[in-house]
């Protein structure tokens, strides 16, 4: 099946603006779906990346699976989180070959996918040994260093900003939101995935003090980092109140996209924050 042959590729999702909506949606969807599977196993479905029918593999018992990081497509090899974020990016933003896209990663399979289909994509990674805007070597390529709290891009440079599982590692994430707003064109959209509390309040695990020291409020938690074997510190796990922070940064019509479906191999409680920069 070719790219053109794939029909009815719409992913149905809830545009939630309250935590009660989130709880109601996932209580109706995830329990019923997840109880059907015990692992290791395989789930047949459709892959939006491959544009064909596929099979998605998961490894552990269903009640222990991290569904976002599992469900590997037999065709493209991408996990649930990468495939579904790409799916919603295309569906919500309707990009074309000339679309200007900023993504806060540059060495992941997801970046390679998006840059391959949308050549004006600009990707970057944070590297404390480099200056923002400079390039540093990684494997056989040069990667641009960007600090999401002080982007070197010009104002209104992009139609879309994509930030997937990055803001949890940014102490001053409010400043990062303001930078995303600054570099977006009017009516441009930001799509943000984060670890989520499924509660109203953000869980603050650590704070950066004025002298640069880190004050841990909870046991330090580190997530995987493609540039560091030791991982990267998680400063916060976000709650529904991230929508209020997006509004303070200037975004409008913000919502939390909630989705869980067998059809596309997106099991579990999947979420994605979406906001729009107002037009002029």
Question: In whole angstroms, what separates CA 188 from the centre of its chain?
Answer: 17
Half-sphere exposure of 40 (CA within 13 A, CB side): 6
Reported as a single tens digit per residue, the pLDDT across 11-58 is 999 999 999 999 999 987 766 665 677 667 899 999 999 999 999 999
d(CA 3, CA 90): 13
How many residues are recorded in the chain? 280
CATH architecture of 14-36+79-276: 3-Layer(aba) Sandwich (3.40)
CA 178 to CA 83: how far, in whole Å?
Answer: 27
Look at residues 276, 197, 232 and name the one whose alpha carbon lies nearest to residue 22. Answer: 197
Reported as a pLDDT band with limits 50, 70 and 90, residue 169 is: very high
In Å, how far from its chain's centre is CA 138? Answer: 22
pLDDT for 65 equals 78
Structure-token match 């704070």, residue found: 207
pLDDT in tens, 212-263: 899 999 999 988 777 676 689 999 999 999 999 999 999 999 999 999 999 9
**Distance between the two ends of the chain, CA-based, in angstroms?**
42
Instruction: Please state, in angstroms and rounded to a whole number, the distance separating the CA atoms of residues 81 and 83.
Output: 6
Q: Which of 159, 221, 212, 218 is nearest to 184 (CA)?
A: 159
Which segments of 104-237 are extended strands (E)? 121-123, 135-138, 141-144, 158-164, 184-193, 203-204, 206-208, 214-216, 222-225, 228-233, 236-237
Nearest-Å Rg of the Cα atoms of the chain is: 19
Q: Quick check: helix, strand or coil at residue 272?
A: strand
| CA atoms of 12 and 150, how far apart (whole Å) | 35
Is it the case that residue 4 has pLDDT exceeding 50?
A: no
Q: What is the pLDDT of residues 123-167, one digit of tens each?
A: 999 998 999 999 999 888 899 999 999 999 999 999 999 999 999
CA-nearest of 120, 112, 121, 271 to 191 is: 271
Provide the pLDDT for residue 62: 54
């Amino acid at each position: 099946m070719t790219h053109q042959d794939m029909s009815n590729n719409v992913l149905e999702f809830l545009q939630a603006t309250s935590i009660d909506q989130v709880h109601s949606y996932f209580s109706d969807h995830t329990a019923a779906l997840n109880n059907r599977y015990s692992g290791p196993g395989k789930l047949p479905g459709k892959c939006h990346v491959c544009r064909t029918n596929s099979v998605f593999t998961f490894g552990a018992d269903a009640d222990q699976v991290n569904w976002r990081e599992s469900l590997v497509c037999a065709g493209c090899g991408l996990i649930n989180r990468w495939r579904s974020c790409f799916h919603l990016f295309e569906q919500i933003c309707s990009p074309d070959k000339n679309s200007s896209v900023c993504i806060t990663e540059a060495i992941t399979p997801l970046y390679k996918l998006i840059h391959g289909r949308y050549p004006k994509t600009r990707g970057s990674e944070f590297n404390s040994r480099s200056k923002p805007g400079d390039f540093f070597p990684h494997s056989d390529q040069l990667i641009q260093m960007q600090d999401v709290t002080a982007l070197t891009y010009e104002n209104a440079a992009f139609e879309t900003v994509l930030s997937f599982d990055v803001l949890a590692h940014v102490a001053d994430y409010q400043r990062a939101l303001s930078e995303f707003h600054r570099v977006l064109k009017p009516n441009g959209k930001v799509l943000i995935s984060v670890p989520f509390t499924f509660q109203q309040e953000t869980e603050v695990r650590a704070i950066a003090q004025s002298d640069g020291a880190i004050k841990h409020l909870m046991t330090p938690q580190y997530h995987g980092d493609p540039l560091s074997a030791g991982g990267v510190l998680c400063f916060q796990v976000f709650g529904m109140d991230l929508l209020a922070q997006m509004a303070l940064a200037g975004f409008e019509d913000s919502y939390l996209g909630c989705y869980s479906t067998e059809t596309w191999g997106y099991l579990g409680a999947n979420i994605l924050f979406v906001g729009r920069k107002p037009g002029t």
